[in-house]
Amino acid sequence: MLNRLYSSLPEKSVSKERFEVPKLESRVQGKKTVISNFSSAVKGVQRDERQLYKFIAKETATAMSIEEGKLIMNGKFYPEMIDKMFSSYLKEYVFCHECKKPDTNIVENHGVKMLKCTACGALSALKKI
């Protein structure tokens, strides 16, 4: 009976992680760069679109807009550069600075925005965008 039970269980998932970092899908169109899954990627990391928008605008120093869930940037920015920016955003504003888990929320404490980890309870001050 035990063998039947084991055979009826679903196979273990390949990935041991429960959080998967979304990949930004970007392409250069003429003199513009389009990130087609911008809104869904931001929802995947549970952050506000405006915050990532401001972060990328500061990093690239270019004009951009959000249309129908897509981020349209003036200028040519290749996927490697966008992935590097997104990784640095995740490191600073999503992953806990102590335990490196993504279980965090942004809270305000005495006028200072803090990254609060729900896994280990750590509080870290965030850089202003």
Q: What is the mean pLDDT of residues 76-82?
A: 93
Residue 16: pLDDT band (50, 70, 90) is very low
Residue 3: pLDDT band (50, 70, 90) is confident
Contact 25, 38 (CB under 8 A): no
Task: Supply the pLDDT for residue 89.
Answer: 94
Distance CA 19, CA 6 (A): 26
Tokens read off for 74: 């003036």
Crossing angle of the two packed helices 49-60 and 79-93, in degrees rounded to 10: 120
Tokens read off for 33: 């760069």
CA distances from 16 to 19, 20, 93, 120 (A): 9, 10, 23, 20
Tokens read off for 101: 């888990």
Task: Supply the pLDDT for residue 9.
Answer: 60
Residue 14 pLDDT > 50: no
pTM of the model: 0.80
Residue 82 pLDDT > 80: yes
Tell me: domain 22-94, CATH 3.40.50.11540, correct? no
Residue 77: pLDDT band (50, 70, 90) is very high
**What are the extents of the domains in the chain?**
22-94, 96-129
